Chain A
Amino acid sequence: MPYPKRFDGRKSDETRPIVAKVGIIPRADGSAMFQIGKTTAYAAVYGPRTLHPKWMQNPNTGVLRCEYNMLPFSGHGERVRPGGGRRAREIGMVTENALLPVLDLREYPNSVVDVYIDLPQTDAGTRCAGITAAAMALADAGFEMKDMVAAVAVGKVQDHVLADLTYDEEQNKTPEEGVADIPVAFMPLSGKLTLLQMDGEVTREDLKKALTLGKEVCKRIVDIQKAALRAKYAGGSDDE
Chain B
Amino acid sequence: MESLHMKDRDVVVPGDIVATGMGFLPSKGTYRESDKVIADRVGLLSVEGKVLKVVPLTGGYAPKIGDRVIGQVNDVLFSGWRVDLFGPYSAVLGVKDATNEFIGRGANLAEIFGLGDIVVCKLINVTSQKLIDVSLRGPGLRQLKGGRLIKVNAAKVPRIIGKDGTMVSMIKQATGINIVVGMNGMVWIDGTPEGEVVAAETIQKIQDEAHLGGLTNRIKDFLEQKTGKKVEPRAMQEGE
Contacts and interface: CB of A to CB of B under 8 A. Distances in A.
A and B touch in the complex (CB under 8 A): yes
A229 interface: yes
**Most chain B beta carbons < 10 A, residue from A62, A112, A236:** A236
Contacts of A143: 41, 59
B62 to A, nearest CB: 6
A206 interface: no
Interface residues of A, number: 42
Interface stretch (A3-11, A102-110, A159-167): A102-110
A141 B59 contact: yes
B9 A48 contact: no
Interface residues of B, number: 41
Contacts of A147: 14-15, 38
The A interface, classified by DSSP as helix, strand, loop or mixed, is loop
B40 A142 contact: no
Contacts of A102: 14
Interface in B7-52: 8-9, 11, 13-17, 31, 33, 38, 40-42, 44
Given A49-B87, A49-B88, A233-B42, A145 B15 contact: yes
Contacts of A112: 88
B14 A145 contact: yes
A107 B62 contact: yes
Interface of B: 8-9, 11, 13-17, 31, 33, 38, 40-42, 44, 56-60, 62, 87-89, 128-130, 153, 155, 159, 162-163, 209-217
27 contacts: A47-B60, A49-B88, A50-B89, A59-B129, A110-B129, A140-B58, A141-B60, A142-B41, A142-B57, A143-B41, A144-B41, A145-B40, A147-B14, A147-B38, A189-B15, A189-B38, A230-B11, A233-B11, A236-B211, A236-B212, A237-B8, A237-B44, A238-B44, A238-B210, A239-B213, A239-B216, A239-B217
